Amino acid sequence: MLIVGILLCYLLGAALMLLISRRYNISELVGYSFLMGIAVESVIMLFFDVVGVKITSGSMIAANMVLTAAALGINFKNLKELPTQFQLPKFELKHINFVSLFFIAIMAWLFYAVSVKCLFWPATDHDALGSFDKLGRVIALEGKLKISLYQWDLQGAAGVYPPLFHAAFAYAYVFGATIAKIITTLFFLSLLLVFYNLVKEAANETAAAVTTFILMLTPEMFAHAALALGNMPTTAYVCAGALATFIWIDKKDQKYFWIGATMMAWVIWIRSDTVVFTAAALLIVGIDFLKNKYWKKAISYGAVAVLPFIIWFLYMKLKLQTTTSGRFDFGVGYNAERFDLVWGYISAMLFAGQHGRIDGGQLYGISFVVFFVLLAVNLVWLYKKENRSTVLTDRWQVLLFFFASFIAYTLLFYFIDEKAQQSPLYSLMESSFKRGIFCFVPVALFYATTNFTAAKFWRAVERFRTGA
């Protein structure tokens, strides 16, 4: 039964992705379909909860069939052209990228190994039992999102998070799963496939394979591929939304506009603190709008990306009768002690240093170090060897997104009310902040691979590889 549920989710996601574009390869479609499908499943659950329909396997199958049929029906005319446009892989010798194949083979084994671990063990992490997995199980049992535990504050910290992640667990339980961690595995697969294809679009296949390998092996994130926590799935949405938006700003390809907007919308449908990414995306789209003056597109992007935030805010206020406000203390102002503490952790995380129980190298490997080294190399190269004006314009959208969202994310923790959170700041930095940093890894690696100097390097590698 679980297989039926997963297949329906993929079908729904694929039907919706095909509304956006028909130009996908198989791995791209598989990656996006799950992200889109499971997000829409959570929207269906919210809708059922509001209108009073019980969430069961029957009601979910019916909703899936109706929505998939509707999406395919609307798109019927265009889909007739699909067989000619769908990109099937080529198997001629000169089309095989052996370097890419080498890395994909290692990644496939690592993915297999971590998935064996993930699918075998039940969720036993503190936050999974106290929140995500519990919410999933009880939603499936009670057939509604606003479960009885809210009455006694027993829902756990994720109870005020938007429902995507715990609803994904509920979806698996509704379809009879004993352990719902197949959801974690599919999120990890989607993250890798989406990142690979987006980097490939902006650079080339070899660069994409090497960079995806580095992303996959980011130590702490790889460990999360066997857990039932929401940070890695959040990273998958930030990766898809942000990178597609960067490519759209670059190439003005309609496909990436809608992928960017919808995935960015799901970013705030999975966690609330990810609003910093949506804000950063709106900032770069806003700046690009000022340069190119496209009213309709800018408004569409903003509306799509912000809509889930409004829906969840209203649901919390009207149905759950709770808010996430009051968890911040903006009266802190500038506090040197607090600033030093936050900065100590940040510098350890970003520059492979050590602070408290944080070892940046152990957690994120070379990801951020490579980003900063290549940022410096690229700026120096552009200044000395190329047109100096490009220093400010090369991949400006990626850098602005990275730094704006990082500063905003840091400020969220700087201003956090320790009493309301029932946890000291250092502990929050060593747990929540540390895991939230995952979301920046794909963005940092995307820049590291696609900036002017790196792109030049990867083009040279490609010229050598193909003998062109």
Q: Which of 21, 64, 97, 235 binds other proteins (CB under 8 A)?
A: 97
3-state secondary structure of 416: strand
Measured distance CA(35)–CA(42) in Å, rounded: 11
Q: Which of 1, 3, 69, 120 binds other proteins (CB under 8 A)?
A: 120
Interior/surface letters 272-283, b for 16+ CB within 10 angstroms, e for the rest: bbbbbbbebbbb
Q: Return the residues of window 226-265 that contact other proteins according to CB under 8 A.
A: 226
CB atoms within 10 A of CB 212: 27
Q: How far is the CB of 87 from other proteins (least distance, A)?
A: 21
Give the β-pairing of 354-355 and 358-359.
Answer: antiparallel
Tokens at residue 76, please?
């019927």
The CA-atom distances, in angstroms, between 279 and each of 35, 253, 439 are: 21, 22, 14
Interacting span for other proteins (CB under 8 A) from 32-40, 68-76, 362-370, 431-439? 362-370
Residue 117 vs 456, nearer CB to other proteins: 117
Instruction: Report which of 240, 234, 251 is spatially closest to residue 288, judged by C-alpha positions.
Output: 251
Q: How far is the CB of 99 from other proteins (least distance, A)?
A: 5
Q: Which of 28, 41, 49, 133 binds other proteins (CB under 8 A)?
A: 133
Residue 108 vs 392, nearer CB to other proteins: 108
Measured distance CA(24)–CA(391) in Å, rounded: 33
Q: Is residue 358 within a helix (H) or strand (E), and if so which, with residue range?
A: strand 358-359
Q: Which of 103, 246, 381, 446 binds other proteins (CB under 8 A)?
A: 103
Tokens at residue 345, please?
């952790």
Q: How far is the CB of 157 from other proteins (least distance, A)?
A: 8
Residue 102 vs 396, nearer CB to other proteins: 102
Q: Return the residues of window 138-177 that contact other proteins according to CB under 8 A.
A: 138, 141, 148-149, 152-157
Q: Does 396 participate in binding other proteins (rule CB under 8 A)?
A: no
> Would you call 98 exposed, middle or buried from its count of C-beta atoms within 10 A (0-12, 13-18, 19+)?
exposed
Going residue by residue from 427 to 466, which x/- string records binding to other proteins, judged by CB under 8 A? ----------------------------------x--xxx
Q: Does 220 participate in binding other proteins (rule CB under 8 A)?
A: yes
Q: What type of residue is 288? A: D
Coarse DSSP helix, strand, coil percentages of the chain, rounded to the nearest 5 percent:
80, 0, 20
Q: Which of 25, 27, 56, 222 binds other proteins (CB under 8 A)?
A: 222
Measured distance CA(328)–CA(440) in Å, rounded: 23
Q: Which of 36, 104, 137, 195 binds other proteins (CB under 8 A)?
A: 137
Q: How far is the CB of 149 from other proteins (least distance, A)?
A: 7
Q: Return the residues of window 17-76 that contact other proteins according to CB under 8 A.
A: none
The CA-atom distances, in angstroms, between 201 and each of 28, 205, 233, 247 are: 11, 8, 22, 8
Q: Which of 61, 223, 283, 411 binds other proteins (CB under 8 A)?
A: 223
Q: Does 93 participate in binding other proteins (rule CB under 8 A)?
A: yes
Q: What are the phi and psi torsion angles at 433 (to 5°)? A: -60, -45
Q: How far is the CB of 416 from other proteins (least distance, A)?
A: 19
Q: How far is the CB of 98 from other proteins (least distance, A)?
A: 4
Measured distance CA(147)–CA(234) in Å, rounded: 23
Measured distance CA(258)–CA(297) in Å, rounded: 10
Ramachandran category for residue 97: left, alpha or beta (phi over 0 → left; psi -120 to 50 → alpha): beta
Helix then strand count (H, E) for the chain reads 26, 2
Q: How far is the CB of 265 from other proteins (least distance, A)?
A: 29
Q: How far is the CB of 360 from other proteins (least distance, A)?
A: 8
Residue 387 vs 466, nearer CB to other proteins: 466
Interacting span for other proteins (CB under 8 A) from 101-109, 256-264, 297-305, 388-396? 101-109
Residues at the contact surface with other proteins, assessed by CB under 8 A: 93-94, 96-99, 102-103, 106, 109-110, 113-114, 116-117, 120-122, 124, 126, 129-131, 133-134, 137-138, 141, 148-149, 152-157, 178-179, 206, 210, 217, 219-220, 222-223, 226, 352, 354, 359-366, 369, 461, 464-467
